[in-house]
A and B are shown apart, each in its own frame.
Chain A
Amino acid sequence: NAGVMQNPRHLVRRRGQEARLRCSPMKGHSHVYWYRQLPEEGLKFMVYLQKENIIDESGMPKERFSAEFPKEGPSILRIQQVVRGDSAAYFCASSPPTGENTDTQYFGPGTRLTVL
């Protein structure tokens, strides 16, 4: 499967715990985006990363949320001290390097986070 991979698919955390969501982009893609989908809501942009760089984090809450995309390994979205309002589906998308049709983003299956 050469698509965008996300794991875990389902994650249950108690309030105050940390959640780590992982995303492996499609082969050859170097741009990664994270979106959050709340119940009955559309997808909301959170952060856009390239390898080792955060390009745009304008959609990311200032507190408790962080993201990285290291030189090696998957992109990580980290949520510290989770609260019930963090319960949502988190989707990762990837697109090719600049100059190779970056207009389209391909989405992974999502991680569904439930905070008890």
Chain B
Amino acid sequence: QKEVEQDPGPLSVPEGAIVSLNCTYSNSAFQYFMWYRQYSRKGPELLMYTYSSGNKEDGRFTAQVDKSSKYISLFIRDSQPSDSATYLCAMRKSQGGSEKLVFGKGTKLTVNP
């Protein structure tokens, strides 16, 4: 079983739709959760960072963490064509001395005008 599972999609939605992206994980040691956006042939860009269960909102983006279910989500409201990218979930264990991130494979999203 992989540590982090993420449906690769692709996911295609019309402009203005609400998008839901999800990841599950198997190791309860993960404590810090991030979502990155990666445009084609570019580096990942940090979108959201959370470390507790519950919701965190930033503009059109909401990150949700459910540690009891080992499940995280990213919601995008009023999606725009410029949101078309690959979305990567990432997480980190709270271990001293090692800061590596473990990533999902990414979900490719296309928002159609």
Contacts and interface: CB of A to CB of B under 8 A. Distances in A.
Contact of B102 (A4, A31, A45, A93): A45
Contact of A110 (B43, B92, B97): B43
Interface stretch (B11-19, B45-53, B57-65, B66-74): B45-53
B50 to A, nearest CB: 10
Interface residues of A, number: 29
Contacts, number: 68
Contacts of A106: 46
A103 B43 contact: no
Contacts of B97: 55-56
Q: How large is the interface on B (under 10, 10 to 19, 20 to 34, 35 or more residues)?
A: 20 to 34
A95 interface: yes
Nearest to B46: A104
Interface in A29-79: 31, 33, 35, 40-45, 48, 55-56, 58-59
30 contacts: A33-B100, A35-B103, A42-B4, A42-B6, A42-B88, A42-B103, A42-B104, A43-B101, A44-B103, A48-B100, A55-B97, A55-B98, A56-B99, A56-B100, A58-B98, A58-B100, A59-B100, A93-B101, A95-B99, A103-B92, A104-B46, A105-B46, A107-B36, A107-B43, A107-B44, A107-B45, A108-B43, A109-B43, A110-B43, A112-B41
